[in-house]
Structure 1
Amino acid sequence: MSDMTAFPTMPTIPSDRPWLDAYERYGIDATIDMPDDETSLLEVFERNFRRYGQKTAYLCMGASITFKQLDLYSRQIASYLQSLGLDKGDKVGVMMPNILQYPIVMLGIIRAGMVLVNVNPLYTSRELSHQLHDSGAKALFIVENFAKTYQDAEDKGQVEHVIVCKIGDMLGSVKGRVVNLVARHIKKMIPAYNLPNSTSFKQALGAVSASKYKRPDLSLDDVALLQYTGGTTGVAKGAMLSHGNLVANMLQISVLINSAFEDDINSDDVILTALPLYHVFSFMVCGMYGMYQGFTGLLIPNPRDLDGLIKEMDKYKPSFIPAVNTLFNGLVHKDSFAKLDFSNLKAAIGGGMSVLPSVAKEWHKITGLPIVEGYGLSETSPVVAFNPMTIAEFTGKIGIPASSTDIVLIDEEENEVAIGERGEICVKGPQVMIGYQNRPDETANTFTKTGYLKTGDIGIMDEKGFIKIVDRKKDMIIVSGFNVYPNEIEEAMSEHSGIVECGAIGIPSDERGEDPKLFVVKKGDVTEEELLDFGKKQLTGYKRPRHIQFVDELPKSNVGKILRKELRKMEGLE
């Protein structure tokens, strides 16, 4: 890791890189201009608040907040956190869907000089225990729908302060009460819980005056976000993303968008925020970049409700639609979606998982615009590569490297492969993480000797610098844009007394891209249904096995390692 010094790592990009001509052809700046090292995201946020003041920052369920309100509320949350005695650099978890409280809390944590820890609200108690323990979070903001999960978590780590939000807290007094009443008593969405020492979000918001806020000294080197990921292998670990990493990626996305829409982009644009903000793609593109441009973020708490989502799209007519293949696919199969007015739509941006050509074709036919696909990882804030926004049709490729980003494709000995040959995609740029929290050895193993992050994806670069992913080096399964690691499924499912051993792989799914399938050597008369139910208790929705196959034995190597490649062959996938 010779080149992994303090941020920023602005790579020197050799003049013969093939994508440099593509930058020129598409009017994309080859580099970004980073601010001074002694600045941080605080300067970006404060600029946004001054510039966009009375403009609507976020909409959700018919309610809205302006940038000015966002400034005030987030300072109140920052003051509250500081009043608890938490210090600069302390970790604070946020476990909530896309509701108005999320951007308020996210900004409040970062403005307090603390580190945001995004937590999937659908986690099981077991998964939450791991993340709380590993992150060292000292406080947690949680929506009451999931408070029972926290209550049942065996290991609560260092959490001393729990702030419980109700869905309707920011929707106005009348509507908020109605929404909370419906959620609790009619839809029965809130399991009974008992957290005696918790604080309500409304109490936290009003507890300390915004005038008591102490602006911390931060630099681009300071960590802003712990984004949990399986990384390129194994159990979930926290990618440490600095203020500099996030600022760089925001500027890289801005360069891309401005290359196509500089004269046609304005702060009246609405960005659909249906992907959950705890997912790094949505966090950066919809959250960070959206606020930077002064867009209005249309928050969708439950994107699975496609009819409700389409109604919101009809009402607010978004200009930008970032989504994963699963969501694009769901929309194009709804008749009501095809009837929408797409005259406001400037771009549909695909990420998180591969967009299927059949879905892209249907999308283009209905909306008149192609899906522009990009590529990234939690470890890279996340955007690494993208297609130019002015492409005429879907390319089936992940595009060219982002500005100020160098990409090499390497073989097993870390030698660069020739154009047109397969190699592991490796990245160097200012958006690349500092490393994994608490895991120096894994961090070191994730980088090449020359300081490039190894992605675990195998690609081919063409003579114009466009990259196509052709394989995954690891056994990772991608379900609706979320990374799922077979060993995590196997570990969780092996706790069932009826499983002697098991092996997990991903199998194709029209709906989700891939579904986890578990091959099981069983003990006794355990049934498929019993194991599927057990999976629901052990793992969050997208990770749990959807298919079980009982086998007499699992294929193994000489040293006893389960050969997932052979399981894929049994499934007819290799």
Structure 2
Amino acid sequence: MSWQTIPEMVLSSDDRFGDAEAVVDGSVRLTFREVVHRIRCAAGSFAGIGIRKGDRVAIWAPNSAQWIIAVFGLLTAGATLVPINTRYKQDEAADILTRSGAKAVLVQPGFLGLDFSAPAGVRVIDITGDFLSGGTPLDVEVSGSDIADIMYTSGTTGRPKGVMMNHRQVLRLFGEWCDLADLREGDRYLIVNPFFHMFGYKAGLIASFLRGATIYPMPVLDMDHVLELIETEKITMLPGPPTLYQSLLAANDGSRDLSSLRAAVTGSADIPVDLIRRIKRDLPFQTIMTGYGLTEAGTATASRPGDTFEQIATTVGEPCDGIEISIAHDAEVLIRGYNVMQGYLDEPDATAAAIDADGWLHTGDLGELVDGRRLRIIGRKKDMFIVGGFNAYPAEIESYLLEHPAVDQVAVVGVPDDRLGQVGKAFVVAREVISEDELLEWSRTRMAGFKAPRSITFLDQLPMNATGKVMKDLLR
């Protein structure tokens, strides 16, 4: 079917899937028919406090059934979603609420011990209270070209910018994602990725309503709970960052029944070839997909069925339908197609800097095309450092270091050097004991001298933001 808007698609799930389970959150179990009714009531609640078509409403809360009802309720009322990272502190959230012009923000008081308040003029609503259920059922006419969401970038390279996407873009992008990820009607989808992120909201909630999959929201990653849900609820779909699968492999001691798992989807970080091999060999997954995406363009590339372990681990697949990938003269990855954002909210100069006159989005990522079509990411433009005149790309160096059996996780940054300008420094989370000298010597045998790190610091864990990206500014 060809829906033009997200509310149109979500509300149609009442007829398409009826009494099949839509959401399971602890003791809360809702069918598609029940959740659609609650979404319509939530839309009435938003209208009741003066939310009108085009107004912006923020959600600053963890994954839950209420989050699902709230987001589709506000979209059904004609509003635009502004999701906020739950790891943000008060000032960070206030900045986004102010710059987005949000009329209201839904919060879960007490989550992670945070004080969920808002700037003057922004209504604060307890997402766990009675607000969502108190309205008269409603839906407002929305257009496919209307802005559906304003997602703020992760802010690892500067102040977050608000990325605007419309309804039609999102539906087309994640309709194809469902096919590539092998999401099916009746799947039981454990969503550990946060709903404030594209991976959790669009590849999670929207994809599930497109296909008729049951959503299991997880507010914080707890591996014991993950294992329990897989066994008791027969989870079939489990996307997540590589660290999720590493934890799953470590916990797979035979004491839990994981046989229901069928489809894995990963990305957001470099993936050792051996990890992909072990996921396929030691876990029951039948399909593994990886891809490349960013807030400004959704999922732009994806692996395909039949790809080898090495292809899945070392490349991010081929362009999705209707999307072009090009490599600029400086190796920057460029993207063009229907999926490119409508722009950054209230930042015309930043938008013009990101999308050139020919419609190419400049991603800031560095890459190369393998076999003419398959994309390999080799680093971030701003991460690149120059060693004695040679360009060094941290992602490439990290991929070599991950081949060492003692290395579990690694991040490489450039640091000042009196003779060479900059040299590489590696931060390593080890899975077994190894000395700095041993790993440095091994590195020199595996890569060119200018690439090999000159020093190594061992850490218990790398600093990560809530979307699984290493915060290299902290390492520097």
TM-score normalised by structure 2 residue count? 0.78
Judged with a 3 Å threshold, the aligned counterparts in structure 2 of structure 1 residues 393 and 163 are, in CA distance, closer, same or farther, namely same
Residue 151 of structure 2 is aligned to residue 227 of structure 1? yes
Distance 1:389 1:438, change over 3 A: same
Q: 2:358 aligns with which of 427, 438, 450?
A: 450
Give the letter for the 2:30 counterpart: I
- Is 1:280 the counterpart of 2:204? The answer is no
Q: Deviations over 1:289-321 (max 9, x none)?
A: 111100011211221x21111111111222221
| Structure 1 vs Structure 2 CA RMSD | 3.1
User: Once the 2 structures are TM-superposed, how far is the Cα of residue 147 of structure 1 from its aligned partner?
Assistant: 9.7
Task: Report the secondary structure of 1:88's partner residue.
Answer: coil
C-alpha distance in structure 1 between counterparts of 2:467 and 2:376, whole Å: 29
Output the CA distance in 2 between the equivalents of 1:107 and 1:322.
Answer: 22
Q: 1:157 to 1:390 in 2, by over 3 A?
A: farther
Output aligned runs, 1:150-189, within 5 Å: 150=115, 156=119, 158-159=121-122, 161-166=123-128
1:334 aligns to 2:251 (yes or no):
yes
| Residues 1:400 and 2:318 aligned together | yes
CA distance 1:274–1:147, shift in 2 (3 Å): closer
1:155-200: per-residue Cα shift (whole Å, max 9, x none)?
x1641x211134xxxxxxxxxxxxxxxxxxxxxxxxxxxxxxxxxx
Residue 96 of structure 2 corresponds to residue 131 of structure 1: yes
**Cα contact 1:53–1:67 (8 A) shared by 2:** yes
**Alignment partner, residue 98 of structure 1:** 63
Match of 1:298 among 190, 195, 216: 216
Tell me which residue corresponds to 2:406.
none
SS in 1 for 2:340: coil
From 134, 150, 161, the counterpart of 1:207 = 134
Shift of 1:51: 0.6
Aligned equivalents of 1:319, 1:238: Cα separation in 2: 34
> What is the alpha-carbon distance in structure 2 between the residues aligned to residue 126 and residue 510 of structure 1?
31
Shift of 1:475: 3.5
TM-score normalised over the length of structure 1: 0.65
When residues 289 and 506 of structure 1 are mapped into structure 2, their CA distance, relative to the original with a 3 A threshold, is farther
Find the aligned partners of 1:115 and 1:143 in 2 and give their Cα distance.
20
Return the letter of the residue paired with 1:333. A
- Would the aligned equivalents of 1:95 and 1:119 in 2 still touch at CA under 8 Å? yes
Question: Taking structure 1 as reference, are residues 85 and 352 closer, same or farther at Cα in structure 2, changes over 3 Å only?
Answer: same
* Cα distance in structure 2, aligned partners of 1:79 and 1:506: 55
Aligned to 2:315, what secondary structure does the other structure show? coil
Q: Which amino acid aligns with 1:441?
A: D
Deviation per CA, 1:195-254: give whole Å up to 9, x if none: xxxxxx21x1343222xx2x3232121001111104794211111111112112122213
Q: Distance in 2 between matches of 1:219 and 1:152?
A: 32
Correspondence 1:437 to 2:352? no
Instruction: Tell me the alpha carbon deviations over residues 12-66 of structure 1, each in whole angstroms, 9 at most, x when there is no partner.
Output: xxxxxxxxxxxxxxxxxxxxxx948xx3222211222211111111112243111
Q: Which residue of 1 aligns with 2:275?
A: 359
Q: Give the conservation status (yes or no) of the 8 Å contact 1:386–1:398.
A: yes
| Cα distance, 1:94 vs structure 2 | 0.6
Residue pair 2:51, 2:77 contacting (<8 A) in 1 also? no
For 1:286, the aligned partner's letter is G
Identify if the C-alpha distance between structure 1 residues 312 and 394 changes in structure 2 by more than 3 Å, giving closer, same or farther. Answer: farther
1:571 alignment counterpart: none
Q: Cα 1:205–1:372, aligned 2, differ >3 Å: closer, same or farther?
A: closer
Verify the 8 A CA contact 1:91 1:137 in the aligned structure 2: yes
Q: 1:542 to 1:126 in 2, by over 3 A?
A: farther
Alpha carbons 2:229, 2:235 under 8 Å: kept: no
Specify the alignment match of 1:55 in structure 2.
Answer: 20
Q: Is the 8 A contact 1:266 1:295 kept in 2?
A: yes
Aligned partner of 2:226 in structure 1 is 309
| Aligned equivalent of 2:10 | 45
Query: Residues 417-462 of structure 1: CA distance to partner in whole angstroms, max 9, x if unpaired?
Result: xxxxxx2111112222101111110011001331111111111112
Identity over aligned pairs, percent = 26
Partners of 2:22 and 2:377 in 1: how far apart? 36
Q: Is the contact made by 1:141 and 1:162 (CA closer than 8 Å) also made in structure 2? A: yes
Q: Distance in 1 between matches of 2:315 and 2:53?
A: 41
Match of 2:303 in 1: 387
Report if aligned partners of 2:62, 2:111 keep a CA contact under 8 Å in 1: no
Looking at structure 1, the residues matched to 303 and 31 of structure 2 have their Cα atoms a distance apart, in angstroms, of 32
Query: 2:452 maps to which residue?
Result: none
- Aligned 8 A contact 1:385 1:401 in 2: yes
The structural deviation recorded for 1:541 is 11
Deviation at 1:511, TM superposition (A): 8.8
Q: Distance in 2 between matches of 1:165 and 1:53?
A: 25
Kindly provide the amino acid, as one letter, of the partner of residue 165 in structure 1.
Answer: I
Alignment of 1:5-24 (within 5 A): none
Give the conservation status (yes or no) of the 8 Å contact 1:405–1:427.
yes
Would the alpha carbon gap of residues 309 and 62 (structure 1) be closer, same or farther in structure 2, given more than 3 Å must change? farther
Aligned to 1:469: 377
Superposed displacement of residue 148, structure 1 = 7.0
Quick one: structure 1 residues 547 and 105, their matched pair in 2 at CA, closer, same or farther if it must change by over 3 Å? closer
- In the alignment, the residues of structure 1 paired with residue 315 and residue 349 of structure 2 have an alpha-carbon distance, to the nearest angstrom, of 33
From the superposition, tell whether residues 298 and 230 of structure 1 become closer, same or farther in structure 2 (CA, over 3 Å).
closer
After TM superposition, give the deviation of residue 542 of structure 1 in Å.
7.5
Q: Which ranges of structure 2 fall in alignment gaps of 5 or more residues?
A: 385-393, 396-410, 414-423, 432-462
TM-superposed CA distance for 1:255, in Å, is 3.9
Q: Tell me the distance in 2 between the aligned counterparts of 1:329 and 1:238.
A: 32
Could you tell me how far 1:377 is from its partner in structure 2?
A: 0.4
Contact persistence 1:410–1:424 (CA under 8 A) = yes
CA 1:506 to 1:60, structure 2 compared with 1: closer, same or farther past 3 Å? farther
Equivalent residue number for residue 185 of structure 1: none
Would the alpha carbon gap of residues 242 and 507 (structure 1) be closer, same or farther in structure 2, given more than 3 Å must change? farther
Shift of 1:151: 5.2
- Number of residue-to-residue matches in the alignment: 406
More divergent stretch after superposition (359-368 vs 92-101): 359-368
CA distance in 1, matches of 2:145, 2:58: 21
- 1:244 touches 1:430 (CA, 8 Å); kept in 2? no
- 1 or 2 for the larger relative contact order (CA 8 Å, sep ≥6)? 1
- The alpha-carbon distance between structure 1 residues 470 and 388, as it changes in their structure 2 partners (threshold 3 A), is same
Alpha-carbon separation, structure 2, partners of 1:475 and 1:366: 35
**CA contact under 8 A between 2:249 and 2:283: conserved in structure 1?**
no
